[in-house]
Amino acid sequence: MNRLTQSEKESLKQLLRLECTFTLSDEVMDALLDTGVTRRLARGEAIIKAGDIDGNIYFIIDGIARHWYWNGNREKTAFFSQAGTMLISYHSYYFNKGSFYSIEACCPTRILCVKKDIYDRFVNEYHDFSNWCLSMAQCQIFFFEMKNRIIAGTAKERYISFLKNRPDILNQVQLKSIASYLDVTPQYLSKLRKMKL
C-alpha cells in the first residue's frame, strides 16, 4: 500500500489548514492521514463517477480535479479542486446514493483515500475532528458561493475574473473543461484568450 511520506504529510496538513478556519491538532490530523492510501491518476481518470456509490473521502495531494455533470446533452464543469482540497460525494457519503458529480483528474494528480468507516470513527471519537469536519463543510459552501459571485457577468467578464482568481488552472486544464466552467464554447474561449485583456 502507498502511504504519504513525512514531507508529503506535512505539506498536505499545511494546505488543509488553509481550507478552513478550524485548526485540527497535529496528533489527530497525523492519525487520520496515516490511515489513507495514495493513488496516482492520469488526466481524465475518474476519482468518482456520476451514479457510483462512493462514500470515501479523498484529499488532493497534488494536481487538479474537476467536478462535472451532464446538463442536458453537454458536460458542465461545476468547479475545480486543487491540492489540499477534500473531495466527497455528499450523495454517497450521507445517503448511500449514486454521486451527482463525476470527479476526475485534469492533469496528473495524486490523491489520498480515507475509507468512510475510518472517517466516521474519527468523527465519533474526536470532538475536535467533528468541529474540523463542520468547518470544512462550511468553507466548501463559502467557496461554492464565492465562485458564483466571482464567475458572473458577460462571457468576457467571467474569463477576466477566472484569469485573475484562478490563473494557475489555465495552463494545466484542457480548454474544453475551462469553457464548460465559464459556460462558453471552446471556440469563443480561444477568441477570448487571443484578446489583449
Say how many C-beta atoms besides its own lie within 10 A of residue 184's C-beta: 19
pLDDT score at 61: 97
Instruction: Name the grid cell of 80.
Output: 475545480
Task: Tell me which residue has cell 484529499.
Answer: 59
Q: What is the DSSP letter of 25?
A: P
Torsion angle (degrees, nearest 10) of CA 159, 191, 42, 29: -10
Q: What type of residue sits at position 54?
A: D
The yes-or-no verdict on residue 124 having pLDDT over 80 is: yes
E-assigned strand segments in 7-161: 37-41, 46-48, 57-62, 64-71, 74-82, 86-87, 102-105, 109-114
- What mean pLDDT is predicted for residues 115-121? 97
Question: pLDDT tens digits for 2-60?
Answer: 999 999 999 999 999 998 889 999 999 999 999 999 999 999 999 999 999 999 999 99
Confidence of residue 1 (pLDDT cuts 50, 70, 90): low
C-alpha cell at position 191: 477568441
Residues pairing with 110 in the sheet: 40, 62
Confidence of residue 195 (pLDDT cuts 50, 70, 90): confident
Q: What separation in angstroms does the CA of 188 have from each of 177, 192, 197?
A: 13, 6, 15
Q: Contact 8/63 with Cβ under 8 angstroms? A: no
The amino acid at 79 = F
% pLDDT > 70, the chain = 98
Average pLDDT of the chain, as a whole number: 93
Q: In angstroms, rounded to a whole number, what is the distance separating the alpha carbons of residues 170 and 178?
A: 8
